[in-house]
Amino acid sequence: MNTDEHGSEIKTNLFLIRVHPCSSVAKFIGIASMKIAVLGANGQLGRDLCPRLAGEVVPLTRAEIDLDRPETIAAYLSANRPDVVINCAAYNFVDKAEDDPDAAFRVNAWGVRALARACRDANSRLVHVSTDYVFGLDETRTTPFREDDPPGPVSVYGLSKLSGEYVVRSTCPAHLVIRTCGLYGVWGSGGKGGNFVETMLRVAGQGKPLKVVNDQRCTPTYTADLAVAIADLVARSAQGLYHVTSAGDCTWYELAAEIFRQAGVAANLTPTTSAQFGAPARRPGYSVLACDKLATAGVTKPRPWQDALAAYLKERAAR
């Protein structure tokens, strides 16, 4: 790692990370000297997060740590003992999990349990990213879920992620669990071949009709904004459970309509219901997360989802 007046450069086999010493998070005493390992560093959140973290950032892929191979977890952490471990890795194939629950639980629950144990033993602080899909059982809900509201998942995926939350909170004393929702970023989701925004624009560009569910209300979140909030929470040594999403809420149909409006794309878009769409896994009808607790940690809530979408489209066009 070389340091000059322009900041610190961290060379990895993935990309070069430059951390400016005058960044807002680097101003916190002791943070710039921390060693932070990031699991899932080549995913859409991980790639937005790594450059925004202060300190010595170590991006990790499945080659170094694989949640589906617990032996890699203990071996890496016992040998390297980072100050902070941020887990952006997960099994996130919501529909496939219904037919193969073992695959979801191996990564999202048992792999996370091994990670929590290894972090505890290495005296590493664990930051774990979870999901709004831990909710959904309350079909009458119309107000955003707070961190202290009882969860109730309606899918195998949601149950596996909730199990991961429980093992983190019960196993690793120094932990931070962050629930978020509907992620999209310029790097896309490698496992899913893009993100919702890109899928909508691609299908519309092909001139195909689009039917999008209008009875699932949540808050789509730009990974760049989520990364800023996570970096701030880490810098402030926040612990416990926090919700972090863009502000406001919408249905997936409303999001699609806003994508086309902002992008200036004509699309054959019609609303449909979850029942008509017929996905194998049930989704929450309402899973909006309240992010007011961020203020207690001194962290600014992310901007409205419409503004975040505009920023994403601008960044996308610049690439």
Q: Which of 130, 250, 263, 129 is nearest to 197 (CA)?
A: 263
In a domain, 224, yes or no: yes
In a domain, 274, yes or no: no
* pLDDT band at 194; cut points 50, 70, 90: confident
Q: Cα separation of 158 and 251, whole Å?
A: 19
Rounded to the nearest integer, the mean pLDDT of the chain is 91
Q: Which of 76, 133, 157, 312 is catalytic?
A: 157
> Are the C-beta atoms of residues 135 and 287 closer than 8 Å to each other?
yes
In a domain, 293, yes or no: yes
- Identify any residues that bridge with 240 across adjacent strands, giving them in sequence order: 176
> Are the C-beta atoms of residues 189 and 200 closer than 8 Å to each other?
no
In a domain, 25, yes or no: yes
Residue 125: give the domain boundaries. Answer: 2-193+220-247+288-304
Who has greater pLDDT, 13 or 305? 305
- Identify any residues that bridge with 220 across adjacent strands, giving them in sequence order: none
Note the pLDDT of residue 6: 35
Four-residue CA torsion sign, 257, 185, 135, 143: negative
* pLDDT band at 106; cut points 50, 70, 90: very high
Beta strands in the chain (DSSP E): 2-4, 7-11, 16-19, 35-39, 56-60, 84-87, 125-131, 175-180, 183-184, 210-213, 217-218, 221-222, 240-243, 250-251, 269-272
Residue 157 catalytic? yes
Q: Cα separation of 99 and 274, whole Å?
A: 19
Q: Cα separation of 156 and 153, whole Å?
A: 8
What digits encode the pLDDT tens for the residues 256-293? 999 999 999 999 999 999 999 999 999 999 999 999 99
CATH number at residue 121: 3.40.50.720
| Overall domain count for the chain | 1
Q: State the CB neighbour count (10 A cutoff) for residue 193.
A: 10
In a domain, 162, yes or no: yes
- Residue carrying structure tokens 């699932």: 216
Q: Cα separation of 228 and 181, whole Å?
A: 15
Query: Under DSSP, is residue 63 helix (H, G, I), strand (E, B) or coil?
Result: coil
**Does residue 219 carry a pLDDT above 80?**
yes
**Does residue 26 carry a pLDDT above 50?**
no
Query: Under DSSP, is residue 4 helix (H, G, I), strand (E, B) or coil?
Result: strand
> Are the C-beta atoms of residues 158 and 136 closer than 8 Å to each other?
yes
- Segment 176-199 shows an average pLDDT of 88
